[in-house]
């Protein structure tokens, strides 16, 4: 898979904090750290989508059962 380069401008203080975090957490470079952050964020995003979909399915089944029970009465 090919790679794309992304340039991000950040304040100097944030850059220093990122460099400290990269060193302390054992990342090999800033890019590795950012890839980790993006993967984590995307996983959380897709987990939220899956949870919403699951909850919608549960709600749909509940309302279908309620509608069926109401029709039987």
pTM of the shown model: 0.66
In a domain, 16, yes or no: no
Domain housing 62? 35-73
In a domain, 1, yes or no: no
Predicted pLDDT at 63: 72
Predicted pLDDT at 48: 92
The residues, ordered by sequence, that sit 6+ positions from 19 with a Cβ below 8 Å of its Cβ are 30
Look at residues 14, 62, 69 and name the one whose alpha carbon lies nearest to residue 37: 14
Predicted pLDDT at 71: 67
Integer angstrom CA distances of residue 61 from 50, 54, 56, 64: 17, 11, 9, 5
Residues in the chain predicted with pLDDT less than 70, given as ranges, are: 64-73
Structural domains counted in the chain: 1
């Amino acid at each position: 898979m090919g790679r794309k380069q992304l340039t991000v401008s950040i304040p100097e203080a944030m850059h220093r904090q990122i460099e400290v975090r990269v060193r302390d957490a054992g990342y090999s470079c800033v890019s590795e750290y950012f890839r980790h952050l993006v993967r984590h964020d995307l996983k959380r995003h897709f987990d939220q989508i899956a949870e919403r979909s699951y909850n919608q399915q549960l709600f749909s089944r509940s309302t279908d059962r309620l509608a069926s029970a109401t029709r039987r009465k």
